[in-house]
Amino acid sequence: MGKGNIHMSFKGTCLQSNVRTHLIVLLLGSFMISACSNDQQRTWCYSEVFEYVDEQNPSDTCYFYAYTDLDAAISCAKVQKKNILVIFSGWGVLAVPKQEWRTLSLYNDNDYIQSNFVIAWLPVDDKTLLSDTTSIAVFDNDSIRVKTVGGKNLMLERNLLQSTSQPALCFVDTNLQKTGGTIRYTKDRKEVEEFIKSGLSE
């Protein structure tokens, strides 16, 4: 895919533009509710929907839904018995916005990605205050007070990847233990395919 635009839309599949039009008509808001359930429990998870539009081929549009709340992503992953595809990004941290979706779109089957993983999109620039602003995170033996959701996401990235560069994509289990590989923005389709494969290997 070439250079594209990103905005909010409705569904988690790659669709032709005429179908996309009908979906947008059905859109009632920026959030959708998906049910994560098994025989014993039902967890309602709020997922935010992202759309990647390829400017060179506008009919080739990809939709991804992801949880911006890590706890919700973990709850859903536990029920579905899946690993979590964690994406560290932000609302305004990138010179070229939403490179992570451009990277994932190279896989050419985002239905497969979303069928096998729960996606957590974690903005490191989210200024929302945590309910407990006295939380302490430890990195390289340094204690750091974390006051915001973005700060919490940033510390998770530092602990998992030993870096704070976005976008960064990796896989974790429901205990936040890293599984599989790590990838950043790339135009290499084979690299993306190997990355997705790594998430299924453990």
CA angle 149, 65, 69 (to 5 degrees): 20
Give the pLDDT confidence score for residue 91 in this predicted structure. 83
Digit-coded pLDDT (tens) for 98-153? 789 999 999 989 899 999 999 999 999 999 998 886 776 665 566 778 889 999 99
The pLDDT, as a whole number, for residue 96 is: 57
State the Cα–Cα distance between residues 153 and 70, nearest whole angstrom: 9
Name the percent of the chain in helix, strand, coil, to the closest 5.
Answer: 30, 35, 35
Model confidence at 198, pLDDT cuts 50, 70, 90, reads very high
Is the model's pLDDT at 57 over the cut of 80? no
Q: Is the pTM of this model over 0.85?
A: no
pLDDT of residue 155: 92
For residues 14 and 183, give the distance between their C-alpha atoms in angstroms, rounded to a whole number.
Answer: 22
**Structural domains of the chain, ranges and CATH numbers in brackets:** 4-124+162-200 (3.40.30.10)
The number of helix segments (H) and strand segments (E) in the chain equals 6, 10
Res. 78: pLDDT tops 50: yes
Report the mean per-residue pLDDT for the chain: 77
User: What is 21-52 written as a DSSP string?
Assistant: HHHHHH--SSEEEEEEE-SS-EEEEEEEEEEE
At 120 the pLDDT is 97
